[in-house]
Amino acid sequence: MKDILEVRGQQAIDILGLLKQVATDEGNLPLHPIHEETLLAMAEHLFQNEEYSTTSEAMPLKDAGDVLRTQALQEGVMNMAGILPFLEEDGEQERIAAVGRLGEAMGFDRKFTKRLHQLSHEAVMGLALCLNRPLSLEVGSPLWKGILKLAESVIHVDGDKKTLARYEGYRDIAPDTLGGTLIAYYRDNDFPLPGTPGAFFSNSLWVHDIHHVLAGYPTTPLGETCIVAFDGAMMKMDMGKALIGYIAQFQVGLQFDKGLRTWKNQFKPEVVMRAFERGGGCSVDYLKMDFDFGDLFLRPLAEVREEFGIDPEGALINGPEDSWCGEYGIVGQRSSPDLVERKQSMLARILKGHNTKD
């Protein structure tokens, strides 16, 4: 998805115009404030254009093929367009249909739109299957291993004494190191350290936890969305469908990831698009299976970020005064009027008590 970050000038204006057409169903719907805010954030952080106005005239969706000629750029624009139906509940189906017309103009089949329609009804299997490989890179291991880890966690045989001892050792190093910051991350979230028996998420998502610390995002719904945006811009594979899914789960309450609770009104366009921009600026792609972090845990976090090309500006966690669990408090104890309470799925019931990020 990094190709979209290279677009400038008139082509960027044209793309924003096409996205506005999706947001308004080609003028049949009013431009909602959340869509206007999103378009302006895209203009600033994707295209480095602070002069764009949403009042600019937009070309018809049928002409999209004349503006977008490369497949990679077309896919990036489709992913950004796919976000728009799930920013507010009214007009959801009309905007999905508009995404479909945008895709048809560029020669896409109807599979993408079909997956968006399925997501709007919380049928996410098709979307999830196309994300198997990129999400495997996100968590640092094949997803099928997660099923094995869960079974091991239930009977508390998933621990590893060497891993636990290594993380315990980070308590004795400087708090501003990568390892020392990870200790603060696990402490603030009240998560057991990796290697602890029965700690399913700590033992399965330790790579994802490192991503949180490197990028500087908490475990809030917004923070999780930022991680997907940040990593999606850095990753060579298409992570855009995951970004759509997590925004839908945390903005309009559609359940995409059954391992996470659903929320509403958690999408902040400025913050998420800045995360995408920051991820695209990384000079080291650490989203590789079995990436060797080596001695990085012992080095100052600021130094590692500089080496990786991670811009500290735009992070939500900027120092020890900021809590890695964010403003809602510890993950399993969060309460908010924006938290969507629903009957727990079988997976959620199994995970409950196993270091679950619910």
Q: Which ranges constitute the DSSP H helices of the chain?
A: 9-23, 33-45, 64-67, 71-83, 92-105, 111-120, 125-129, 132-139, 144-154, 161-169, 178-189, 200-204, 206-215, 221-234, 240-251, 269-280, 301-308, 346-351
* Domain positions in the chain: 2-121, 132-351
Tokens 């295209």 identify what position?
A: 47
Q: What tens digit of pLDDT does each residue of 87-96 get?
A: 999 999 999 9
- Give the model confidence (pLDDT) of 43-93 as tens digits: 999 999 988 999 988 889 999 988 888 888 999 999 999 999 999 999 999
The Cα 191–Cα 16 span in angstroms is 41
Dump pLDDT digits (tens) for 168-180.
999 999 999 999 9
pLDDT single digits (tens) 104-138: 999 998 999 999 999 999 998 888 877 888 788 78
> pTM higher than 0.95 for the full model?
no
Percentage of the chain exceeding pLDDT 90? 72
Residues 182, 180: Cα–Cα separation, whole Å: 5
